Amino acid sequence: MAFEGVCHLLANLVEYCNSSETSYDFAEDEAFNSEIEMSNFMDANIHVRDAIFDKYSKGYAPESHMGEGSSSLVHASTSLHDFDEGIFKAEDNPDCLRSRWQLEAYLNQQADILEKDPSLVPLNSFNATMSQLQALAPELHRVQFLQYLNALTHDDYIAALDNLHRYFDYSAGMQGIFSRSSSSFQDIIVGKYESALLCLGNLHCYFGHPKKALEAFTEAVRVSQMNNDDSCLAYILGAISNLLSKIGMSSTIGTIGSPYSLGNNIGLGTPLSIQQQLLVLLKRSLKRADTLKLTSLVSFDHLSLAKFDLKHVQRPLVSFGPNAYTKLRTCPADVCKNLRLSSHVLTDFGVDGLSASSDNGSFSTSWLRNLSAASNSWCSSSTKSRKVLTNDFDNFHFHAQPSPIPAAVLQLAGSAYLLRATAWEHYGSAPMVRMNSLVYATCFADAASSSELSLAYVKLIQHLAAFKGYSAAFSALKLAEEKFPSTANSHIQLLKMQLLHERALHRGQLKIAQQICDEFGVLSSSVSGVDIELKTEASLRHARTLLAAKQFSQAANVANSLFSTCYKYNMQVENANVLLLLAEIHKNSDNAVLGLPYALASQSFCKSFNLDLLEASATLTLAELWLALGSTHAKRALSLACQSLPMILGHGGMELRARAHIVLAKCHLSDPKFKVTEDPCSVLDPLNQAVEDLQVLEYHEMAAEAYYLKALVYNNLGKLDEREEAAASFREHTIALENPYNEADSLSY
Amino acid sequence: MAEEQMEEASTAAAATPFQLQFDKPIPFQIKMAEWNPEKDLLAMVTDDSKVLLHRFNWQRLWTVSPGKCITSICWSPDGKIVALGTEDGLILLHDVENGKMLRRIKSHDVAIVCLNWAEDEPQSKTDKDGLLSYEDRTTRFFPPAPVVPRIGGLSSGDTCLGDENEESIQEFSSASCQRFNILCSGDKDGCICFSIFGIFPVGKININEVPIHVQSSGSKASYRLQDASISKVSLSGNLHKLVLLCSGKLIDIDNISHSNDISGGLHCLHLDTSIFFNRKNELHQVSQQASSIQYLVEVVRASISMMAKQWSGAMNLFNEKFSVLPSLITAHGMESSSEDEFMSLLFGTRTSPALHQFLVSSLGEAALKRIAKSVDSAGRELRVVVSEHLQPAVEIISFRLAELRGLARWRSRFQNIGLDEKLIDGVTERIGMLVVQVERFSRVTATVLYLFQNFFSWVLKCVKILLSEPTDQVPAANSEFVVLFLKFLLDKDPIKQLLDADQRFECHLDTAKHLEQLVVLGGFTDTHFLERSLMKQFNELEESLKEAFSMPFTTISSQIHCQALLPLYPITSLVDLSSTCNLTSVSFYKDEDSQHSGPSYRLTDYICFKIPDGSLNLRNCIGVIKDFSNSSTSTPSLSGFLLRIPDEYECVDLSLYKDSQIVVLLSERSCSDNPGRSYIVMLQTENFSFVPLSKIFPSNIYSIQELAALELQLDTDYGKVRSVPHAVSTPLAVSASRGVACVFSSRRHALVYILDEDEDEDEDEVSDME
């Protein structure tokens, strides 16, 4: 029995089997990997702070197609895994210890594990097992595929390539066992070729060879067009758009264009920008997938579109004439629509699925009958044990049963929630971020891969850090580290560094901050154009550290070069961030006039990308800058600060809130018309609130400022006792800032 | 006849004021009429409580009969909604476009006597508010909100309930929430309710329970009204104050025996509603979010109930057919269960005679297909409802709640309108749980439907095999899932359980542990929420929403105080009360010659009322007072005049109009049968001298009687007079914005007069239309 049968089965399980040829199944399967991969990647990627995840999100994803299979073969796989001979003896042929389907199930299970947490699988021992298996059962080609995946997750390029080649070379002619009458030998060979190319493209994509990947994809497109292989084409389009979104963002890379000239495909003479190409590809892939009813691909395409809409302005392809109206803003409602559509993959599961599977007749294969017949007798006992094993959501008595919904579908449905959380991070709605991550962590914990789940955890912990302070965040982080013990889990690692860095900055422990910054820099790959998000964050943090160290010109230099990088790679959202940072740098270096244009630019960026919270903080910075220009501008500063208040107080973290409160108080105090004695509350209230928040954050510098202002106010009011109290607190914080205590413990928590 | 009169009117236009626009017969007795403030539309309520909407050219737009006795009517300030108060205390909001009912709000227990819908005027801004910018971000981030699901074509039999739901709630267009406005309603028992946009209740006060601190000369005395009944409410344009007229007995709280001298009468009260003015931005935000949430909650409720109905329909059919099997099994003298029988069929061991009989004869292929189809179509409906209605609604609710939560964190501004951080936090938690529940529901639904599908195709196949028919047309079934179905779905219905409020589920240990872990990460603190069903979770959400929204309600209610009291005239009997109270009119005019420059201005209240004959020993008198609610001491304060109408006329109705004018409708007292004539009189208040009245308590009781009554002569310079060749009846509908008045003759004619001759454009336009 060859892997084709399995692939075939897999494909059916995921409802891909609209085509009547075996050959597609693999292609679909593989493309599906890329889907998952992409969706994961996407979530990770968007998240500004978690830039590093490229590798891991790519890494675990390819396995998922096998994982899909395993969910339906659970009985088999668990039983095999347990090596519980007792269960089998009754039905099994005693001569043959493990039947083929058991082996398949074992492979599926391994794939599942690989997919859930690649770091759990040691490279070499796994390979050894696989080689052994292969020696025993040379006709099991999937073993090679598993090896390929394993190599992929462990970043072994050569082994991965080798195994992939071997897999396709060996298996190409072996499909005969389960081939249906409809598919001729030739078809299968050809179909295999496309799938192989697709896999190869994904491999290259994963290892960051966009040129080679594109070549493979282009070839795949050519072949599948030649063979009228529509569904494969849809998947390839999806894969290409994934490639584009991942690495094609830099207009200078220039890999696209020549080999696969999209411009010609569309019939427009003008070359399109990368984003436009991406959009066109996505839309086309979506259309194809829609007509072919590839629900998972549809869902994936919707997710990608949502991701695209989140960060990019959709420009019309053709716009001329006076009436061509271009709205230069992103459209959040589209994001929402796409996300909703993408989660239809779950609600619409099986709408016409059963009929599709019957067309293929795959469930009627004797193979599967054997499986179910054998599994039935011990089904009841097994389900009981299963309850304990899996499904930590929904084991609400009915649902603990093996679900016909494959994990892949659940993952897709779940990524919609993760992407929602990310989108709300951008748009500025803290409770929505929390809620969506929480829904993900609650509902999809069973299906999610460790990387995705840890991303949800990361978002939750970040929320905690921003709203409850560091101690809560660190205790949660500890739990998350227990849950994801592998040191390689980049999300958690990165989060830890972020939190430590921020805390060090707040406490004024600059050396530690710098140390963490350096670690950040090491994390990213040295190849240009790879790990861009991570690099961006690293230099952003570097600039922040410099700013805190009052090395303004260096900070400005870093920020400027960062800006040009972001500009080069068309990362508009990050641009807004960098511009704001530049404005801050100028503000702190007493160069308010220079800072104004940066703040304004950042504000307008935020407006057009609907980054409400960032816009509010840009407005706040603007207010600070005006305030720095002298007391004549106090009124303007006040009005700006007030504008930003609803957003900041509603959705900003504690630091931002405290800052806003202090700015508000300062605006009042520097307004020559304002008399403290008349309205002490309008100054003291915000200051008290700010102090409250800053205490939790241990943000000494700002706390000192707040206490200073408080002391001033009390002095004006003639309340001497309170004044002394505030002054003492001020002193405390200043001392703490100047003598950062016990540096050793600052890296622990 | 109408045309004749038209001509007559146009020829006489030069001589007589108030050109007659037209005179049309109307086949109803009209009891209330109100002009739309924005468009030339006249809404009328007939004696049998039909509501008619006519255009200015008397074309009828629509008629609705709400089936309840309508006791009051008013328009929304933007003219898009007409509000009707009913005898049983309902406020009905109808769309101007088609007369469709938008909302039905129950805020009173007894007849709503008067309605007043006031809009915040854009000029009345305080300095600080200008700085704050609030935005409702929902429209930017979400596609239009989902609507209440409609029942698909299949089960048309039981649509009545759905229809009712659908009628009772419609999404308010966000345009109508652009500007802050408040609908006040007063009822017969002395309760006044305030609702923002007419839909979000923000306050309720009972006049009978409000202590009235009066400005008396020396000591402060507090009084109370007993058996109060509101007859008129009017909220000033800047929402600062409310003037209301109500009848009732004034009681001295401290000294009850003392209160005999001033018993029942009509009183004028000034309520301080400055909370609306001071916090209007915040209230606007909160009510905008809250009213939308309330609507979406209705959507969720309707979705859930519809799903329950759809699913139980399909399940009834299924159970009805499959419940035959156990009895057949017992009939064949076996003791096994249906599940066992199916299992043995699945494993191919044997087909028991009972099962054979069931599948082949009592079920049959056609019935099986029918059941499969009905389950399938119910499943489709469920999917559509979940993905088109339930999920989007829940998503938008959660966003709006997140916004509210953001607002609630701004304690200094929002705490004093009662937006409680803790309560809103609780609701936010609940909506998060609801999202999880919806997610679980959709997953369970997908699984169950798939298993059903699988099972049916398996049974179909079996039937075909038993009938020895070819089976190649039947989709193949996964036998593993058939087992699952037999084990878990044959006699259980998880979808129904989730939609049932009383169900509890056992939560598995692992789940509980997982949830507890999430608490550390900031998860839901209530870790047992998965034990609840979807419906139960929804009910809890609703409860906590109610609690959270009742906070602003009570907080604001407690901040509305009675500021001043002025007894107008005594009423001797209750009979008088009902007949005369309607003849009052309260309005606010902008004080033109106010010393404040710029955007701020002062609003002066005018109260105009007919004094019932005999009261205060006066006959046929009209009283006019102004500046009653003006509490400042520097500016001119309470003053008024009294007008005596000649004995041969009787005041039918009166109304304040435009810039301090009064329109009075008089009819000749006809002693014989011949139809008397009537007169429309417009009086300029500037032509009368207002005499200052005392505001200090004991002396202001019925102080109007101290005024000397001026004799009104119909040919004097006090104003313009136009005679109407009919005996007229109430009501008189005057439109200040359009400058027209509509009177109704006793012979069922409606006559529309143009009150403002200067508005030439208007007339031209109208004559063009004609």
Provide, as residue numbers in chain B, all residues whose Cβ is less than 8 Å from the Cβ of A368. 478
Summarised one tens digit per residue, pLDDT across range B582-608 is 677 888 777 654 444 444 567 788 888
Residue A26 confidence (pLDDT) = 33
For residues A579 and A571, give the distance between their C-alpha atoms in angstroms, rounded to a whole number: 12
The answer to whether the Cβ–Cβ distance between B478 and A457 falls below 8 Å is no
Q: Is pLDDT at B331 greater than 80 in this prediction?
A: yes
Strand B639-644 with B584-590, pairing: unpaired
Indicate the range of A525-529, B406-410, B527-531 predicted with least confidence: A525-529
Q: Is pLDDT at A67 greater than 70 in this prediction?
A: no
A-contacting residues in B 154-193 (Cβ below 8 Å): none
Summarised one tens digit per residue, pLDDT across range B340-354 is 888 888 877 677 888
Q: Is pLDDT at A365 greater than 60 in this prediction?
A: no
3-state per-residue secondary structure call for B643-675: EECCCCEEEEEEEEECCCEEEEEEEECCCCCCC
Residue B636 confidence (pLDDT) = 61
Residue A740 — pLDDT band, cuts 50, 70, 90? low
A249-253: average pLDDT? 42
Supply A464's token pair: 């905690």
DSSP for residue B189: T
Q: What are phi and psi of A96, to 5 degrees?
A: -100, 115
Q: Is pLDDT at A55 greater than 50 in this prediction?
A: no
Residue B544 confidence (pLDDT) = 93
Q: Is pLDDT at A46 greater than 70 in this prediction?
A: no
A386-399: average pLDDT? 34
Residue A399 confidence (pLDDT) = 39
The answer to whether the Cβ–Cβ distance between B131 and A441 falls below 8 Å is no
Q: Is pLDDT at A363 greater than 90 in this prediction?
A: no
Q: Is pLDDT at B97 greater than 70 in this prediction?
A: yes
Residues B551, B420: contact at Cβ < 8 Å? yes
Residues B70, B29: contact at Cβ < 8 Å? no
Residue B654 confidence (pLDDT) = 84
Q: Is pLDDT at A110 greater than 80 in this prediction?
A: no
Q: Is pLDDT at A64 greater than 50 in this prediction?
A: no
Q: Which is more confidently placed, B694 or A378?
A: B694
B441-452: average pLDDT? 86
Q: B586 CA to chain A: closest CA distance, Å?
A: 38
Could you say which of A350, A380, A461 has the minimum Cβ distance to residue B521?
Answer: A461
The answer to whether the Cβ–Cβ distance between B507 and A396 falls below 8 Å is yes
Q: Which is more confidently placed, A8 or B40?
A: B40
Q: Does B490 touch chain A (CB under 8 A)?
A: no
Residue A35 — pLDDT band, cuts 50, 70, 90? very low
Q: Does A405 touch chain B (CB under 8 A)?
A: yes
Residue B277 confidence (pLDDT) = 83
Residue in chain A closest to B429 (alpha carbons) equals A435
Which of the residues B127, B137, B141 would you substitute to probe the A interface, choosing the one with the greatest number of A C-beta atoms within 10 Å? B141
Indicate the range of A70-79, A187-196, A404-413 predicted with least confidence: A70-79
Q: Mean pLDDT of all residues in chain A? A: 69
Q: Is pLDDT at A354 greater than 60 in this prediction?
A: no
For residues B713 and B711, give the distance between their C-alpha atoms in angstroms, rounded to a whole number: 6
Burial class (CB in 10 A: 0-12, 13-18, 19+), B236: buried
3-state per-residue secondary structure call for A73-93: CHHHHHHHHHCCHHHHHCCCC
Q: A161 CA to chain B: closest CA distance, Å?
A: 37
The answer to whether the Cβ–Cβ distance between B132 and A410 falls below 8 Å is no
Summarised one tens digit per residue, pLDDT across range B606-660 is 888 888 777 777 778 888 888 877 766 555 678 888 888 888 888 888 888 877 7
The answer to whether the Cβ–Cβ distance between B508 and A649 falls below 8 Å is no
Could you say which of B402, B409, B436 has the minimum Cβ distance to residue A649?
Answer: B409
ipTM over 0.90: no
Task: Among A34-43, A541-550, B343-352, B481-490, name the most confident range.
Answer: A541-550
Q: Is pLDDT at A156 greater than 90 in this prediction?
A: no
Q: Is pLDDT at A18 greater than 70 in this prediction?
A: no
Residue A249 confidence (pLDDT) = 47
Q: Is pLDDT at A215 greater than 90 in this prediction?
A: no
The answer to whether the Cβ–Cβ distance between A347 and B383 falls below 8 Å is yes
Q: Which is more confidently placed, A173 or A559?
A: A559
Q: Does B405 touch chain A (CB under 8 A)?
A: yes
Provide, as residue numbers in chain B, all residues whose Cβ is less than 8 Å from the Cβ of A472. 522
As beta bridge partners, residue A132 has none
Residue B660 confidence (pLDDT) = 74
Q: How far is CA A313 from CA A12, A276, A332, A339, in A?
A: 38, 10, 10, 17
Residue B431 confidence (pLDDT) = 93
Q: Is pLDDT at A643 greater than 90 in this prediction?
A: no
Could you say which of A394, A463, A479 has the minimum Cβ distance to residue B520?
Answer: A479
Summarised one tens digit per residue, pLDDT across range B352-405 is 888 888 888 888 888 888 998 999 899 888 988 998 899 999 999 999 999 888
Summarised one tens digit per residue, pLDDT across range B543-575 is 999 999 988 888 888 888 888 888 888 876 655
Residue B397 confidence (pLDDT) = 93
Residue B157 confidence (pLDDT) = 36
Size of interface A-B (CB pairs under 8 A): 246
Residue A747 confidence (pLDDT) = 57
Residue B591 confidence (pLDDT) = 63
Could you say which of B142, B387, B445 has the minimum Cβ distance to residue A333?
Answer: B142
Percent of chain A, pLDDT > 70? Answer: 62
Residue in chain B closest to A435 (alpha carbons) equals B432
Q: Is pLDDT at B512 greater than 70 in this prediction?
A: yes
- Give the angle subtended at the CA of A516 by the CAs of A514 and A517, to the nearest 5°: 60
B-contacting residues in A 555-614 (Cβ below 8 Å): 610, 612
B222-243: average pLDDT? 83
Supply A267's token pair: 């019939």
For residues A582 and A576, give the distance between their C-alpha atoms in angstroms, rounded to a whole number: 10
B81-110: average pLDDT? 88
Residue A596 — pLDDT band, cuts 50, 70, 90? very high
For residues B41 and B234, give the distance between their C-alpha atoms in angstroms, rounded to a whole number: 22
Q: Mean pLDDT of all residues in chain B? A: 79
Q: A418 CA to chain B: closest CA distance, Å?
A: 14
Q: Which is more confidently placed, A615 or A140?
A: A615
Strand B661-668 with B749-754, pairing: unpaired
Percent of chain A, pLDDT > 90? Answer: 11
Q: Is pLDDT at A528 greater than 80 in this prediction?
A: no
For residues A642 and A636, give the distance between their C-alpha atoms in angstroms, rounded to a whole number: 10
Residue B768 confidence (pLDDT) = 38
Q: Is pLDDT at A316 greater than 60 in this prediction?
A: no
For residue B358, the tally of other CB atoms under 10 A from its CB is 25
The answer to whether the Cβ–Cβ distance between A476 and B410 falls below 8 Å is no
DSSP for residue A378: T
A-contacting residues in B 437-476 (Cβ below 8 Å): 439-440, 442-447, 449-451, 453-454, 457, 474-476
Residue in chain B closest to A361 (alpha carbons) equals B476
Provide, as residue numbers in chain A, all residues whose Cβ is less than 8 Å from the Cβ of B346. 376
A364-383: average pLDDT? 34
Residue A205 confidence (pLDDT) = 73
Q: Is pLDDT at B327 greater than 90 in this prediction?
A: no
The answer to whether the Cβ–Cβ distance between B454 and A404 falls below 8 Å is yes
Summarised one tens digit per residue, pLDDT across range B16-43 is 677 888 888 888 888 888 888 888 889 9
Burial class (CB in 10 A: 0-12, 13-18, 19+), A132: exposed
Provide, as residue numbers in chain A, all residues whose Cβ is less than 8 Å from the Cβ of B514. 392-393, 442, 445
